[in-house]
Amino acid sequence: MGYIVSREGFAEVIAALRDKYRIIAPIRKKGGGRFTDVDVILYGEVTDAAEIELDAKSDYAPKEFLTPLSETLFYFTEQEVKEADLEPKPVLLFGRSCDLHALERLDAIYLRNGKAKDIFYERRRKLVNFVLIGCDKSFKNCFCADMGTNRATEGYAFSVDRVGDEIHADVPDAEIAKIFAARGREEAVTPRYVTENEVHVTVPETIPAAVLKSPLWDEYDTRCINCGRCNFVCPTCSCYTMQDVFYTDNGKVGERRRVAASCMVDGYTNVAGGGQYRRKNGERMRFKVLHKIGDFKKRFGFQMCVGCGRCDDVCPEYISYTNIINKVSAAAQDAGKEAE
């Protein structure tokens, strides 16, 4: 069922939905970006529809709710362990088509990667109802069309497209449809999506072993400064580390936190005895890229990268991940010809 509501009507819809749901959406923080006059768009709970950033691509991804940068999992004493509380109210989580596809990637890693599910991810995931923000244009660095993630036709509670002063919404959720129906007119709505991006990638079908030794990676030994920003904004990066925090008043009591980790930063591959598997930044880049466009697919049958372009947006060294994919593709072709 589709509905068209005015801007004021949409504000009423959001106000009504807040009775049942927490609204987690992209929010623009003025001056919160890399420089004092640069904004940042990140995720947070909104109380008013006007706070939701519908027009620009968010710098951070909806995983901010599902896998927070730092999350206390449980508290411990000498005798017992208590799971950390989680606000049980269902969530309406706003994101774009690529973000909805990214949820499928996170679900694969946390819920279907081995015998046991990750219960801490699962309890958050069960709360999530996705709200699809339509894309009326392709943003800078997006390559969703080439990754096949430019369109979502299911898996959302409702969609939102700002068209002039109106909001157009496709509302598959019957209960939420009643809220829209009371404030707008019924009309068929198809969420907007892009069919073409400015940036294109060719993802190789197979990546020959020779690509691992290609000199293409050497450039990143010096260009990449292993800051890890590309991982933290990526909607599909899911690595984490554990930290036990012991309270100063009683050193036998504390909490265990799950903290986001990055395969690009120092320490990620440290092992006992002082070993480190990937010392060079080029080696780390190789690991990251081949995981995103090869290794993940071998396990789950679909590519990990969803083509959101956030890694390119955020890199302080202007390293283009899409260029790397195309270089890998060319190297894979060359390796194939040499093998013939």
Of 134 and 228, which CB lies nearer to ligand SF4 in the complex structure? 228
Is 5 a binder of ligand SF4 (CB under 6 A)? no
Cα Rg of the chain, angstroms? 22
Is 134 a binder of ligand SF4 (CB under 6 A)? no
Q: How far is the CB of 264 from ligand SF4 (least distance, A)?
A: 4
Tell me the β-bridge partners of 92. Answer: 23, 129
Q: How far is the CB of 285 from ligand SF4 (least distance, A)?
A: 7
Distance between CA 11 and CA 18 in Å, rounded? 11
Of 45 and 219, which CB lies nearer to ligand SF4 in the complex structure? 219
Q: Which two tokens stand for residue 104?
A: 């499928």
Distance between CA 58 and CA 56 in Å, rounded? 6
Distance between CA 3 and CA 22 in Å, rounded? 22
Return the H-helix or E-strand segment holding 254: strand 254-260
Residue that is written with structure tokens 């060294």 in the block = 317
Is 310 a binder of ligand SF4 (CB under 6 A)? yes
Q: How far is the CB of 241 from ligand SF4 (least distance, A)?
A: 17
Is 96 a binder of ligand SF4 (CB under 6 A)? no
Tell me the β-bridge partners of 311. Answer: none
Of 5 and 285, which CB lies nearer to ligand SF4 in the complex structure? 285
Q: How far is the CB of 213 from ligand SF4 (least distance, A)?
A: 20
Point out which span in 25-33, 124-132, 231-239, 248-256 binds ligand SF4 (CB under 6 A): 231-239
Of 93 and 315, which CB lies nearer to ligand SF4 in the complex structure? 315
Is 305 a binder of ligand SF4 (CB under 6 A)? yes
Q: How far is the CB of 214 from ligand SF4 (least distance, A)?
A: 17
Is 303 a binder of ligand SF4 (CB under 6 A)? no
Q: How far apart, in Å, are the Cα atoms of 18 and each of 24, 48, 96, 161, 188? A: 11, 9, 21, 20, 25
DSSP, res 69: S
Q: How far is the CB of 231 from ligand SF4 (least distance, A)?
A: 7
Distance between CA 167 and CA 182 in Å, rounded? 14
DSSP for 127-153, please give it.
Answer: TEEEEEEP-SSPPTT--HHHHT-S---
Is 292 a binder of ligand SF4 (CB under 6 A)? yes
Strands (E), 7-135: 22-29, 40-46, 70-76, 81-83, 91-95, 128-133
Point out which span in 8-16, 37-45, 152-160, 218-226 binds ligand SF4 (CB under 6 A): 218-226
Is 306 a binder of ligand SF4 (CB under 6 A)? yes
Strands 270-271 and 275-276 come out as: antiparallel
DSSP, res 56: S
Point out which span in 164-172, 176-184, 206-214, 225-233 binds ligand SF4 (CB under 6 A): 225-233
Is 225 a binder of ligand SF4 (CB under 6 A)? yes
Point out which span in 16-24, 32-40, 86-94, 228-236 binds ligand SF4 (CB under 6 A): 228-236
Binding site for ligand SF4 (CB under 6 A): 224-230, 233-236, 264, 292, 305-311, 314-317, 319, 321
